[in-house]
Amino acid sequence: MSWDLKNWPIFSFLDLNYVSKIHMALVYGNFGNEALIVTKDKMVYAIGSNTSGCLGTGDTYNTLYPRRVEELCGKDIKTFAYGKGPHVLALTEDGKVYSWGHNSHCELGNISASQGLIPMLVTKNLCNEFIIDIACGSHHSLALTIEGKVYAWGENTSRQVGSSVNVNEGTPMKVNSTLTDKRVVCISCGQSSSMVVTDNGEIYSWGCNEVGQLGIGNYANHANPCKITTLIGITIEKVVCGYAHVLALSNTGVLYVWGGNYCGQLGLGMKTNICNPVQLIVQEMGRVLDIAASHYSHISIAMGERNQIFMWGECLGQSITIPMLTGLRCIHDAFARYASPNVMHQPLILHGEEETVGLIDCFKEAFNDQATSDLVIQIQEEFIYVHKTVLMIRCQYFRTIFSKTLNTNNQKKFIKHHKFSYNVYKAFLRYLYTDELDLHPENMQELLKLANTYSENQLKKQCIQKMKEGITVENVALLYSIAIENNAKELEEYCFKFALNHMTAIVQTASFANLNENMIKNFIIKAAQTGAFKT
């Protein structure tokens, strides 16, 4: 969809008709000024400054408009990877690897050190292998076979291709030693380091270790892959490398970090390098669903359990040492807006032609979008970006406060609220855009109060349903009092009936003891009328 590319300036010259035909796109280069495009008919195009011939068009001419990369057209491209020269790798669905661009460190794997102006098939030692994934560091490359073996080539000054000899490797060589009997399922490259995950969830690392990015408890470079022993017993599913830091995600959604931390890219609230994995705990993030980093930068990105995007590290030139909730809808948007340079960590796959965009999808996209907002609401020290027209259509409260200024030049553009917490008010505004409740159960009571204050009956019903689903012996008396205070008769009656069925246990709870005298009196009278105290 066209808005998937809107945050990447290099695509601004493309017309919407052309954009609608794009299947995959990759932004790369030292300034984010080069891009590759794969259309739905499997044609491959390039645009940008063409540094070192990295567009693969056969020359070094820059272009603002798409030019065909003839050697890749019709090859059914699966993914791309790129280095800092830049050099570029393309992987086809049938397991073949092509390379082109910068090559002074032999990173193209074609024996020579001459730049490649057109994509060439990497055949040496790979001709009989089926490759399923590729990765690039600044000047070295990795390829993963379907059998779980790893090949490496390119610059080896820090032993990042797995050779103990300080010589660049001009052809793909299998990384053996400690990986000989291992099956690798995930590969990643830092600036001058390499990292893999095996099928049993272990991590091995080699190459540059100046700031502890290998995670092995010291700062010495290593040619042979080293097991990260402090993670033994933890099953790692994914590892990603930044320039000199690493994020690793376990099968239970736990995030571990280590390595360079001079921009706060480990998210631990300080800037000290760490040479052993440390668990990064962010309560608001919850179970981590995905992680991302790039060897080009010092930024870290994670998706929390509610599909919320968090970022930390070097963001727009600032050091963010604690994960910050962004309000963005996907990881790619975080790289587009905050990374330096603005390059993609992996190709962006656009939606298929058969998928259509509904009205709700458009509203979800618009919520908290600073670019289109005409109203800012401040809660505590946080800001929420919304649209007056949407709020007026969806909520009588906003319709009332804005109706007086709608046709004047004195329209409100900024509102402060103090009565409700940020998370609750944001969930309320998101509900107005999406009809969905995205809020932790413990905050549902406050949202019910907000719904009652604003006379939002539909929201009130949803809150009541959520609270009914979470009712327990320990909290039923509290919910009962909340129901009375907010005139929620349905919830009040539900709590009362639940209490009758668990009377002995409930009257001994702290929440029952905290009911005011009048509520306890009325509860006992009502319970007596139902025969609860008959002998």
pLDDT tens digits, 40-80:
999 999 999 999 999 999 999 999 999 999 999 999 999 99
Is the peptide bond preceding residue 119 cis, with omega within 30 degrees of 0? no
Give Cβ neighbours of residue 489 (< 8 Å, ≥ 6 apart).
483
Instruction: Compute the distance between CA of residue 148 and CA of residue 31 in angstroms, rounded to an integer.
Output: 34
Encode pLDDT of 420-436 as tens digits: 999 999 999 999 998 88
Please tell me what DSSP assigns to residue 351: P
* Residue-level pLDDT at 355: 46
What is the amino acid identity at position 3? Answer: W
- Which secondary structure element, helix H or strand E, spans residue 493, and what is its range? helix 489-501
Residue 489 DSSP label: H
Residue 204: alpha-carbon gap to chain centroid: 24
Look over the chain and give the mean of its residue pLDDT values, rounded to a whole number: 91
- pLDDT for residue 535 is more than 80: no
Determine contact, residues 110/135, Cβ cutoff 8 Å.
no
> Is residue 421 a contact partner of residue 379, using CB atoms and an 8 Å limit?
yes
Please give the average per-residue pLDDT across 240-258, as a whole number: 97
- In this model, does residue 399 exceed pLDDT 50? yes
Q: Which domains does the chain have, with CATH numbers?
A: 357-452 (3.30.710.10), 471-534 (1.25.40.420)
Q: What is the residue type of 122? A: V
What's the mean pLDDT in 371-380?
Answer: 88
> Dihedral sign, CA of 46, 48, 52, 57?
positive
CA-angle at 368, arms to 366 and 369, nearest 5°: 55
- Cα distances from 383 to residues 123, 125, 398, 402, in angstroms, run 54, 55, 17, 19
Strand (E) positions, 228-374? 236-241, 245-250, 255-259, 274-280, 290-292, 299-303, 309-315, 318-325, 348-349
Helix (H) or strand (E) holding 298: none
Is the pLDDT at 240 greater than 90? The verdict is: yes
Token pair of 227, please? 């097991």
Instruction: Map residue 479 onto helix, strand or coil.
Output: helix
**pLDDT given at position 534:** 64
Instruction: Assess whether the previous peptide bond of 341 is cis (omega < 30° from 0).
Output: yes
What global pTM score does this model have? 0.69
List CB contacts of 432: < 8 A, sequence separation 6 or more: 390, 391, 394, 395
3 state DSSP class of 266: coil
What string of DSSP letters covers 125-145?
Answer: TTTT--EEEEEE-SSEEEEEE
Residue 469 has pLDDT above 90, yes or no: no
Q: Is the pLDDT of residue 321 over 50?
A: yes
Decide which of 403 and 419 is more confident.
Answer: 419
- Token readout for 215 is 């995670």
List, for residues 2-30, the tens digit of each pLDDT value: 457 888 999 988 888 898 899 999 999 99
Mean pLDDT of 337-348: 95
* Confidence at 151, pLDDT banded by 50, 70, 90: very high
Task: Tell me what percent of the residues of the chain surpass a pLDDT of 70.
Answer: 95
Phi, psi of 102 (to 5 degrees): -60, 140
- Residues present in the chain in total: 535
What are 98's strand-pairing partners? 90, 121
Lowest mean pLDDT among 277-281, 297-301, 372-376: 372-376
- Tell me the HSE value of 506 on the side-chain side, using a 13 A CA sphere: 24
For the segment 108-130, the average pLDDT, to the nearest whole number, is: 93
DSSP 158-170: TSTTS-SSSS-EE
